[in-house]
Homo-oligomer: A and B are copies of this chain.
Amino acid sequence: MRATDTSPFGRFADRLASLSSIGPDHRAALLGLNGSVIQVPGGIDLVPPGEKARHAHFVVEGLVGRFAQFSDGKRQITAIHIPGDVADLHAVARPDVAPALQALVTTTLIRVPLDDMAALTRDMPALARAFWAYCAVDLAVLERWAASLGRRAAIQRMAHLLCEIGLRIEQSGRGSRRSFALPLTQQQLADALGLTPVHVNRTLKMLRGKGLITIRGRAYEVPDWKGLAAVGDFDPTYLMLEDFVRRAV
């Protein structure tokens, strides 16, 4: 039943349910949320740096990047969000720490007023705890991201990112870890990995040369998953994915 629910709120509710115990009433409350559906082309800032957010952003289609920006304009992407994710759920708890967001490709999302979300958490404490758990996982993922940036070489960072995204896309039912679309430009990958676009290009070339990945357009194939995971020193447990995916067949 759950797997057939294609509503974006339904997908999010599924994810919450796998992280915290919520009941049918909570699920219904989520499905009853209202927000404005917007579609934006890639490269657009959904929430500019430094702006106090007034909405939570549910990703329906496409990719959203969470980022920090420096005074010289340089950016560091700190998270990549795929359909089914809420990019800035922690803003419900503290609107003034909301991160900047950009659409990485043409993206469809739903903007739900933070006030509505906050009201939900006041009416339903279990939902507040579920949101909190979601943010705790978000924090754990960010911790790994930071560790990668601080201590890993370029090829390891790239391998780790591809492993993480591959698994998350597989979990979301939009591909598999061995074959998925990641329509980011190399400039965007550079912003995510803390590298220059030129070096991203060379790094991808190395991974191709080792036979770990192949790229056609912006579709990635991973013929040697274990090899890629070994290069990236990747351990999936931190993602808190359901090991046994409850998808129909």
Q: Which residues of A contact B (CB under 8 A)?
A: 19-20, 66-68, 70-72, 74-76, 78, 90-91, 93-94, 96-97, 99, 121-122, 125, 128-129, 131-133, 135-140, 142-147, 149-152, 193-194, 233, 237-238, 240
* Given A129-B128, A132-B132, A142-B142, A147 and B76 contact (CB-CB distance below 8 Å): yes
Chain B nearest CB from A17 CB (Å) reads 14
* Given A125-B125, A132-B131, A233-B70, A94 and B137 contact (CB-CB distance below 8 Å): yes
What CA separation (Å) do A129 and B233 show in the bound complex?
A: 35
Residue of B nearest to A150 (CB): B194
* Given A125-B128, A147-B76, A137 and B97 contact (CB-CB distance below 8 Å): yes
Set of chain B residues within 8 Å of A138, measured between Cβ atoms: 139
What CA separation (Å) do A8 and B142 show in the bound complex?
A: 28
Q: How many copies does the complex hold?
A: 2
Q: B71 near A233 (CB under 8 angstroms)?
A: yes
Set of chain B residues within 8 Å of A91, measured between Cβ atoms: 136
Q: B140 near A139 (CB under 8 angstroms)?
A: no
What CA separation (Å) do A95 and B243 show in the bound complex?
A: 17
Set of chain B residues within 8 Å of A70, measured between Cβ atoms: 147, 151-152, 233
By Cβ-Cβ distance, the 5 closest A-B pairs, closest first, are: A150-B194, A68-B147, A125-B125, A97-B140, A90-B136
What CA separation (Å) do A136 and B150 show in the bound complex?
A: 22
Q: A146 near B97 (CB under 8 angstroms)?
A: no
What CA separation (Å) do A147 and B74 show in the bound complex?
A: 10
Residue of B nearest to A66 (CB): B143
A-B contact pairs, 8 of them (CB 8 A): A19-B94, A75-B151, A90-B139, A93-B129, A94-B140, A94-B240, A96-B237, A138-B139
Residue of B nearest to A118 (CB): B129
